[in-house]
Structure 1
Amino acid sequence: MTDGFRKFDFDREFAPDGRILREGDTFKRVYTEDEMQMVAEQAAEAARQVAEIEAQEAAAEAAGQVVHQVAGLLGRLQAESEAMRQDAARLALASARIIAGAALEQYGEETLKDCITEALADLRSEPRVAVRVNPSMSDALAEILEGEAAQHGLEGALIVRADADVPRTDCVLEWRSGAIERTTADIESRIEQAVKNWLAQPREGDADITPDQAAMGGQASA
């Protein structure tokens, strides 16, 4: 009796160097050196891209934090700058009041004479003009204004009266149909208004505004 032959499956495959590439239906993948190098390069490139993305995200986050901090700092600087501007204005106002008061006190007689003389130019048609001043100023002004009245056609029509209720640096002019007064309080009010006008101007234009423009509300002269 003849035994049946069992077909031998050549299912084992060898590489040229003797390594087993296939054992039956199971394959064993063996990488060459070039393939290993390529895989390593691909892995390195993937890692580099991930690191670059993470670095960009970190940089963007850091930049956002810097912008936020700078914005906060600029806000504080602006507030501090405005506070300093207000303080400077208050100091200027206080100084101007002191200087104006000292000037009026020292040159009160001269400033009163100039004020009254300027008003007399518009009162030539009045038959009588009365000037009320502080008693400490009445005698000196009466002598000075007598000549001024004659030059304005008011000789004998101008009367200087001493009034203890009138501050030393103030004066009141009265005539038949009206009256005007020059007071220290009015001068201080105009100084204060000039400072307010300056504060109301945009900061960029502060350096271009003259004191005269500030006193007129910041309007540039033509």
Structure 2
Amino acid sequence: MAKPVKFLFDTEFAAEAKQQAEPRVTLAEHQALVALARQESHAAGLITGEAQAMASLERQRALALTAIGDRLSVAAEALKGLEGRLEQEAIDIAVAVASKLASTLIAREPLAEIRTLVADCFANLRSVPHLVVRVHDDLLDDARTELGRLATERGFDGRLVILAEPTIAPGDCRIEWSHGGMVLDRAQTTSEITEAVQRYLGVAAPAALEDTP
């Protein structure tokens, strides 16, 4: 006859109570939790991806701005050189045009500038006893007529002497009085203007011209 097994009353009931106390999750709840976990993981992945994309865009923008800055610097240097060349060309053109215009005006009215200078002398040298004006040979007769009439109009009381000078260019003159004189020499004036332009360009434009490729 088999030996009866002792019934462990306390032990069996304790195990059953522990099993009943453990939480139980249904299949639907499990699936819902899994879906939620997947959504959270996907959202976290999106946030990480967006952050990486923004960082990449920021790097690309920084590189683009750097490249633009470099190009602007190069363009500024090129523009500086271009400005130097344009300034020199503009000055050269202005001098050439002025010289051509002066030659044309002198050819048309060779006594115009001479008359202006002599009129200034009449206004400022009323007390001199005589005034000598030397002009080119071809202008002698016209100069005597026009300057004589001008002396009368301006009330010059001194003696006006008009002399021919073959070495003086048409349109130029030399004016002399007892204690002074003046010279109108267009060739010398043109040379002085050219030297002044060259000095200006030599000081203001060399840096820009040296940078020009």
TM over 0.5: yes
| Alpha-carbon distance in 1 for matches of 2:108, 2:193 | 19
Q: CA deviation at 1:192?
A: 6.0
Partner of 2:42: 40
Residues 193 and 104 (structure 1), Cα distance of their counterparts in 2 relative to 1, 3 Å cut: farther
Where do 5+ consecutive residues of structure 2 fail to align?
1-23, 28-32, 202-213
Q: C-alpha offsets along residues 29-57 of structure 1, whole Å, 9 cap, x if unaligned?
A: xx823223222321232122112111111
Matched, 1:160 2:175: no
SS in 2 for 1:108: coil
Partner of 1:53: 55
Q: C-alpha offsets along residues 130-176 of structure 1, whole Å, 9 cap, x if unaligned?
A: 1111111112212322333343112xx11111111111111111111
2:94 partner amino acid? A
| Alpha-carbon distance in 1 for matches of 2:122, 2:195 | 27
| Alpha-carbon distance in 2 for matches of 1:65, 1:40 | 37
Q: RMSD value over aligned CA atoms? A: 3.3
Contact residue 117 and residue 148 of structure 1 kept, 8 A: yes
Partner of 1:135: 137
2:80 partner amino acid? Q
| Alpha-carbon distance in 1 for matches of 2:114, 2:25 | 124
Contact residue 96 and residue 191 of structure 1 kept, 8 A: no
Matched, 1:169 2:168: no
Q: C-alpha offsets along residues 170-213 of structure 1, whole Å, 9 cap, x if unaligned?
A: 111111111111221355368669979x99xxxxxxxxxxxxxx
Identity %: 21
1:41 partner amino acid? A
Matched, 1:121 2:123: yes
| Alpha-carbon distance in 1 for matches of 2:50, 2:175 | 92
Kindly indicate whether structure 1 or structure 2 has the higher relative contact order, using CA contacts under 8 Å at least 6 residues apart.
2
Alignment of 1:101-116 (within 5 A): 101-116=103-118
Report the structure number with the largest CA radius of gyration.
Answer: 2
1:56 partner amino acid? E
Bigger proportion of residues as helix: 2
Residues 146 and 52 (structure 1), Cα distance of their counterparts in 2 relative to 1, 3 Å cut: closer
SS in 2 for 1:34: helix
1:62 partner amino acid? A
Partner residue of 2:69 out of 45, 62, 67: 67
Residues 17 and 121 (structure 1), Cα distance of their counterparts in 2 relative to 1, 3 Å cut: closer
| Alpha-carbon distance in 2 for matches of 1:53, 1:73 | 30
SS in 1 for 2:175: strand
Q: How many residues align?
A: 173
Residues 36 and 147 (structure 1), Cα distance of their counterparts in 2 relative to 1, 3 Å cut: closer
SS in 2 for 1:166: coil
Q: CA deviation at 1:129?
A: 1.8
Residues 127 and 16 (structure 1), Cα distance of their counterparts in 2 relative to 1, 3 Å cut: closer
| Alpha-carbon distance in 2 for matches of 1:16, 1:144 | 128
Partner residue of 2:180 out of 168, 178, 199: 178
